Amino acid sequence: MKVQHVTHVSEISSCTCCFNIKKMPQPTGDNMKISKPVIAVLTAAAIFSAQAREMKVGVALANFDLNFISILKGQMETELRNEQLKGQFVDAKGDVALQVQQVDDFINQGVDAIILNPVDTQGVLPMMTAAKNAGIPLIFVNRKPEVKLPENVAYVGSDSALGGTLEMEALAKRMNYKGNIAILMGALSNEEARERTRATEQVIAKYKNMKVVEKQSAKWQRNEAVDIVSSWLLNGTPIDGIAANNDEMAIGAVMALNQSKNKKIMVAGIDGTPDGVKFVQNGGMALTIFQDARGQATGSVKVARALLNKQKVDAYTWVPYKTITPDNVQDFVSAEQKK
């Protein structure tokens, strides 16, 4: 943002103790003339300054209650301030219809860009179409839409399938490539849940001494995972490892295991949230796959800024994962504390 400096000229003479301002001649048709280039420069500067002050980004998030989304939101607020953009946040509370209405409201309010963390990655077309018709840049974050991205639309996040692959490969190694696996899935309206689960099953299929014995959606929620895993244990299902699509469900699984005093089943998660990392540190979880919420948040705001500046951006910006195990968790925590 540039500050415009305007110099005003008057005829001033000075004495030892005061300024004596001489009376200027009244303006006439001749001395009122200002060159057209000066007018153009001043007008352009004024327009730029006004735009810079007024640029607003509408941020529509799927559910504030989800731990990962909460981290995403906090970092976005910081990055929006860094980019001198005004942010307006709304919570869809997991409701697709509400999110569509929220995006429409943003458009009617005249926001300059929209960052969208979709409730349903298959139900984004109405919002994409509305943003396109309004000429507003649209940036998806964290949850990849399952449609082709047109011009002025971008995605910032991680590869969901890769996250599932990394989690299950690391868990399989810890289990010596044998045992029964139960899978806790996220909300099935999300590409993340379906792709992570598919990748998990593909890894298990590679190893002849491993198989899936249970699979159920806990909708990303810790409490629902507690209930589901408790039910599996009561039913006597022989489980050696639990692969959860996120840390919150993994923590719920650990809580259920602790209630039943079961210390034999290994649990893995994805996200590397502060809570998830703590559970790896204290031995509750075998591992987690760090998904960089702050990196995704920062990236989405930077892409929004680039699009607002009419710059060309990649359709997809991939943020890498990191596997966190008891062997490297302390190094990870120390590195995060230095950021």
Angle between helices 247-259 and 274-281 (to 10 degrees): 40
The label of the residue with tokens 């045992």 reads 179
Q: How many domains does the chain have?
A: 2
Q: Which residues pair with 316 in a beta bridge?
A: 155
Could you tell me if 170 and 263 lie in one domain?
yes
Tell me if 208 is assigned to some domain: yes
Tell me if 186 is assigned to some domain: yes
Could you tell me if 125 and 214 lie in one domain?
no
CATH number at residue 244: 3.40.50.2300
Q: Which residues pair with 89 in a beta bridge?
A: 59
Strand intervals (E) in the chain: 12-14, 19-21, 56-61, 86-91, 113-116, 138-141, 153-157, 179-185, 210-217, 241-244, 266-271, 287-291, 316-318, 321-324
pLDDT in the model for residue 53? 54
Could you tell me if 218 and 256 lie in one domain?
yes
Give the model confidence (pLDDT) of 237-269 as tens digits. Answer: 999 999 999 999 999 999 999 999 999 999 999
Encoding tokens for residue 253? Answer: 């699984």
Tell me if 277 is assigned to some domain: yes
Could you tell me if 169 and 262 lie in one domain?
yes
Distance CA 145, CA 124 (A): 7
Tell me if 11 is assigned to some domain: no
Q: Is 142 left (phi over 0), alpha (psi -120 to 50) or beta?
A: left
Could you tell me if 90 and 188 lie in one domain?
no
Give the model confidence (pLDDT) of 286-320 as tens digits. Answer: 999 999 999 999 999 999 999 999 999 999 999 99
Could you tell me if 234 and 298 lie in one domain?
no
Report the relative pairing of strands 19-21 and 12-14 from DSSP bridges.
antiparallel
Could you tell me if 131 and 226 lie in one domain?
no
Tell me if 29 is assigned to some domain: no
Please, which pLDDT band fits residue 33 given cuts at 50, 70 and 90?
A: very low
Give the model confidence (pLDDT) of 51-65 as tens digits. Answer: 445 699 999 999 999
Tell me if 230 is assigned to some domain: yes
Structural domain span for residue 85: 56-158+293-308
Note the helical H segments in 184-328: 191-206, 222-234, 247-259, 274-281, 293-308
Give the model confidence (pLDDT) of 180-212 as tens digits. Answer: 999 999 999 999 999 999 999 999 999 999 999
Could you tell me if 148 and 205 lie in one domain?
no
Tell me if 203 is assigned to some domain: yes
Grouping H, G, I as helix, E, B as strand and the rest as coil, residue 6 is coil
Could you tell me if 94 and 198 lie in one domain?
no
Could you tell me if 165 and 265 lie in one domain?
yes
Could you tell me if 332 and 192 lie in one domain?
yes
Tell me if 48 is assigned to some domain: no
Distance CA 92, CA 75 (A): 19
Could you tell me if 225 and 299 lie in one domain?
no
